[in-house]
């Protein structure tokens, strides 16, 4: 029985409505509860000046293994997760082969166990090989511990398949995670359609491409009583549709990425492929609506949508460059910059979008510092400022638009099941 | 024979820009320097001074990653008129399909001692990318649907020749604005020089929010023709048509084609430009294309001197930044 005392930190746990200066005791990998500063423990962590938060849960992350180890591996990706304060993540099935059967899901778990970094929860494919035609063996994937189902960056295009998927997953009490995007309206698109796509001569992706499928998915969730989670929403209209659906009691949830809050389509003016991402970076009116959606609870969670790409896939002409941004290691500073510093969200509200919010979506018994919970804990240094350098990234890939930028806030110490798995370098 | 001393050097004073990537970046003064330098080369050509020597000993690379006949020939000849050596690289396919990246291909060519790179590429922003990675001066010969600065400069030069000014004129760009790099470059250049610009085409071929570029948007050529000083008829790019921007060529010609009836509604001294290659009977009927208002072939010869002016100015920047003039 090993005991750890985390003393004199600002303990924020939205699951218990807690925000106070105090001390937290961990015993044998489990949260014991608040205690006195003088409580005896084998190890003491001084949390003075730090925020003590439940470990972050990142809903969907690409770890790229097996099949794309040049971009990321489960080992490197979970190291990056820890450095970002993430103690649990949903691992997207867009690997090669696709995680559409039980053994593939179990391979992910085995590699995660070998890496011994953070908790990894496999997400299984909705359709075989992400082809959108036949359902994958969802029951078998559940037996292999898949916590949700998604075709990752492939939207589930066929409404009949989506209907069946929502109905079928209902009996396993697992959500479907969809990337809403109508393919006919996004084909060859490079960026948000608007003034900047016109000036830059890049084919635009209209906001309606997303909103149309959001509308369909909500209608199907209502029809089937299934549980739909909409990934990476980026438009004003999506937010208002989800808001209405929630009011009507439909089982829909949504997440947003930090980069869609921090960056706008104007960034593409440099033609830097690091700003090329799906859904595309939108204009300010959409960003404002996303922030509003976070504030009023329409958007349940913040997710990095970590999408690593090796340098050669991201540095040539923009039409040939891959879509995607890595985000695990910049979750805290980018959210600080776009949400907390401008006082859109408090620290507690932000932490709830990274802990209890995603835990509910994936049905995980995590995201809390309540007595008896797994001792997954993130200690945040809210004040530290630094420049993000490639050499400091744990991810194998460096496709971040925040490289070279001055940032504030980072994960300082991260515990998984009561073990210190990460300490920031000074 | 060194005739450097024979032409005016005051025209180009104030030019410090290393690359010509698009007209969005250029100031009104810079646009005027290019136009005036082109006038000077035109004057010299008229008195028989067709072979000049300022670029002797330098190498101009023409990198064409997209098919081109007119622009490629024009740039090649412009470089030769200035006595540069030229190397040509043409590839219609993607460089990536050969396993070498675009930037690596350009770096390889640069390593052969190239100082000036003329680049055409299907990807918007490709010239910017080369400007970041190469030491050479970059001249954009058309990047996707982004910009085609020398084409717009030659259009503007031709208009200025005809009217003696740009300020106060109404210029209407007709046709496929959505896919036109020529339109975008013309808009930036003409606006900076004080023209009123109308973009006119079917609603499906007018891109989002283009009015924020400071242009008037119209969907009726008949409504705007009477107040237009110059019409620039953009080519309908059949290769980009996917059958749903407009129902038929016949319908397009009916709504936006320039024909005798429309000429009769136009101002008496209306000027008709077309960047070409023209589709006779689509954007323009043959009688109008070959008629008195059209300066289509004049544009082609002006293209040569505009490209000479651009290369020459980049050369001045290069030699002055090296502290080694001449």
Over residues A153-201, the pLDDT tens digits come to: 999 999 999 999 999 999 999 999 999 999 999 999 999 999 999 999 9
Q: Judge if pTM exceeds 0.80.
A: yes
In this predicted structure, which of A41-45, A277-281, B98-102 has the lowest mean pLDDT? B98-102
Distance CA B291, CA B278 (A): 14
The position carrying tokens 């005791």 is A25
A228-273 tens-digit pLDDT? 999 999 999 999 999 999 999 999 999 999 999 999 999 999 999 9
Question: Active-site residue B192, yes or no?
Answer: no
Q: Is the pLDDT of residue B247 over 60?
A: yes
Give the B window 206-245 contacts with A, CB below 8 Å.
207-210, 212-213
Centroid of chain to Cα A94? 15
Given a cut of 80, is residue B29 above it in pLDDT? yes
The whole-number pLDDT of residue B2 equals: 44
- Strand ranges of the sheet holding A301-302, from the earlier edge strand across to the other edge: A56-61, A86-91, A119-124, A148-150, A176-178, A228-230, A252-256, A301-302
Written as six digits, the tokens of A270 are 């440099």
CA distance B185 to B182: 5
Q: Which of A202, A368, A182 minimizes the C-alpha distance to A279?
A: A182
Instruction: Among B101, B208, B209, select the one facing A316 at the smallest CB separation.
Output: B101
Q: Nearest chain B residue to A205 by CA: give it.
A: B208
Mean pLDDT on A273-295: 98
Q: Reduced to 3 DSSP states, what percent helix, strand and coil does chain A have, rounded to the nearest 5?
A: 35, 25, 40
Averaged pLDDT, A73-77:
98
Give the ipTM of the model, two decimals please.
Answer: 0.90
CA–CA separation, A281 vs A355, rounded Å? 25
Out of A320-324, B291-295, B312-316, pick the least confident. Answer: B291-295
The C-alpha atoms of residue B326 and residue B315 are separated, in whole angstroms, by 9
Phi, psi of A361 (to 5 degrees): -60, -45
Residue B264: partners with Cβ closer than 8 Å, 6 or more residues away:
none
Residues of A recognised as catalytic:
305
- The chain B residue lying nearest A318, using CA atoms, is B123
pLDDT reported for residue B142: 97
B71 is known as an active-site residue: yes
Contacts of residue B145 in chain A, CB cutoff 8 Å? 201-203
Cβ of B24 and A199 within 8 Å?
yes
Q: Tell me the pLDDT tens digit for each residue of B120-162.
A: 999 999 999 999 999 999 999 999 999 999 999 999 999 999 9
Cβ atoms of A302 and A258 closer than 8 Å = yes
> What does the alpha-carbon distance between residue A6 and residue B142 come to, in Å, rounded to a whole number?
62
Residue of B120, B192, B262, B318 marked catalytic: B120
């Amino acid at each position: 029985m090993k005991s750890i005392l985390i003393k004199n930190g600002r303990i924020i746990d939205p699951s218990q409505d807690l925000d106070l200066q105090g001390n937290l005791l961990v015993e044998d990998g489990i949260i014991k509860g608040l205690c006195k500063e003088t409580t005896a423990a084998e190890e003491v962590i001084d949390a003075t000046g730090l925020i003590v938060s439940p470990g972050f849960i990142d809903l969907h992350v690409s770890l790229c293994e097996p099949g794309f180890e040049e971009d990321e591996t489960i080992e490197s990706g979970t190291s990056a997760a820890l450095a970002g304060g993430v103690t649990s993540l949903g691992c997207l099935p867009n690997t090669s082969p696709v995680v559409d059967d039980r053994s593939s899901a179990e391979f992910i778990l085995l590699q995660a166990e070998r890496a011994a970094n953070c908790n990894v929860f496999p997400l299984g494919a909705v359709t075989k090989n992400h082809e959108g035609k036949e359902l994958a063996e969802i029951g078998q994937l559940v037996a292999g511990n898949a916590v949700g189902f998604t075709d990752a960056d492939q939207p589930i295009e066929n409404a009949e398949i989506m209907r069946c998927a929502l109905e079928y997953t209902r009996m396993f009490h697992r959500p479907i995670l969809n990337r809403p995007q109508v393919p006919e309206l996004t084909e060859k698109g490079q960026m948000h359609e608007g003034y900047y796509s016109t000036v830059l001569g890049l084919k635009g992706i209209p906001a309606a491409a997303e909103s149309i499928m959001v509308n369909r998915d909500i209608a199907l969730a209502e029809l089937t009583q299934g549980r739909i989670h909409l990934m990476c929403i980026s438009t004003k209209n999506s937010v208002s549709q989800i808001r209405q659906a929630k009011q009507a009691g439909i089982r829909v949830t949504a997440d947003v990425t930090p980069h869609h809050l921090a960056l706008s389509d104007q960034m593409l003016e440099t033609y830097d492929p690091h700003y090329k991402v799906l859904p595309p970076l939108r204009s300010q009116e959409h960003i404002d609506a996303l922030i509003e959606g976070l504030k009023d609870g329409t958007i349940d969670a913040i997710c990095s949508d970590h999408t690593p790409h090796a340098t050669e896939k991201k540095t040539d002409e923009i039409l040939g460059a891959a879509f995607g941004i890595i985000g695990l290691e910049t979750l805290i500073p980018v959210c600080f910059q776009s949400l907390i510093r401008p006082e859109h969200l408090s620290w507690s509200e932000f932490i709830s979008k990274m802990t209890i919010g995603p835990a509910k979506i994936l049905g995980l018994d995590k995201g809390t510092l309540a007595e008896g919970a797994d001792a997954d804990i993130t200690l945040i240094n809210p004040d530290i400022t630094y420049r993000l350098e490639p050499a400091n990234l744990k991810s194998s890939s460096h496709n971040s638009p925040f490289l070279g930028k001055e940032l504030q806030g980072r994960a300082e110490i991260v515990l998984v099941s009561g073990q210190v798995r990460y300490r920031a370098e000074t | 024979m060194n005739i450097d001393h024979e032409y005016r050097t005051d025209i180009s004073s104030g030019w410090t820009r290393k690359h010509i990537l698009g007209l969005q970046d250029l100031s009104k003064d810079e646009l005027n320097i290019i136009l005036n330098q082109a006038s000077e080369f035109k004057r010299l050509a008229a008195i028989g001074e067709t072979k000049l020597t300022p670029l002797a000993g330098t190498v101009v690379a023409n990198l064409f990653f997209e098919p081109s006949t007119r622009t490629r020939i024009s740039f090649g000849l412009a470089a030769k008129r200035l006595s540069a050596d030229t190397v040509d690289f043409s590839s219609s396919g993607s460089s990536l399909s050969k396993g070498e990246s675009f930037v690596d291909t350009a770096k390889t060519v640069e390593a052969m001692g190239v100082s000036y790179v003329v680049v055409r590429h299907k990807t918007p922003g490709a010239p910017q990318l080369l400007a970041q990675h190469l030491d050479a001066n970059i001249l954009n010969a058309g990047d996707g649907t982004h910009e085609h600065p020398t084409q717009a400069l030659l259009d503007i030069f031709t208009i200025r020749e005809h009217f003696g000014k740009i300020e106060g004129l109404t210029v209407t760009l007709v046709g496929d604005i959505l896919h036109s790099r020529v339109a975008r470059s013309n808009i930036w250049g003409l606006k900076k020089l004080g023209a009123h610009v109308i973009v006119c085409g079917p609603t499906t071929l007018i891109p989002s929010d283009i009015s924020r570029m400071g242009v008037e948007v119209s969907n009726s050529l008949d409504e705007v023709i009477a107040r237009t000083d110059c019409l620039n008829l953009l080519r309908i790019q059949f290769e980009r048509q996917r059958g749903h921007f407009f129902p038929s060529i016949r319908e397009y010609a009916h709504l936006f084609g320039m024909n005798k009836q429309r000429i009769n509604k136009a101002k008496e001294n209306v000027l008709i430009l077309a960047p070409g290659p023209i589709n006779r009977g689509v954007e323009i009927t043959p009688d109008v294309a070959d008629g008195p208002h059209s300066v289509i072939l004049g544009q082609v010869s002006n293209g040569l001197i505009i490209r000479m002016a651009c290369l020459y100015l980049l050369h001045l920047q290069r030699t002055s930044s090296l502290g080694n003039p001449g």
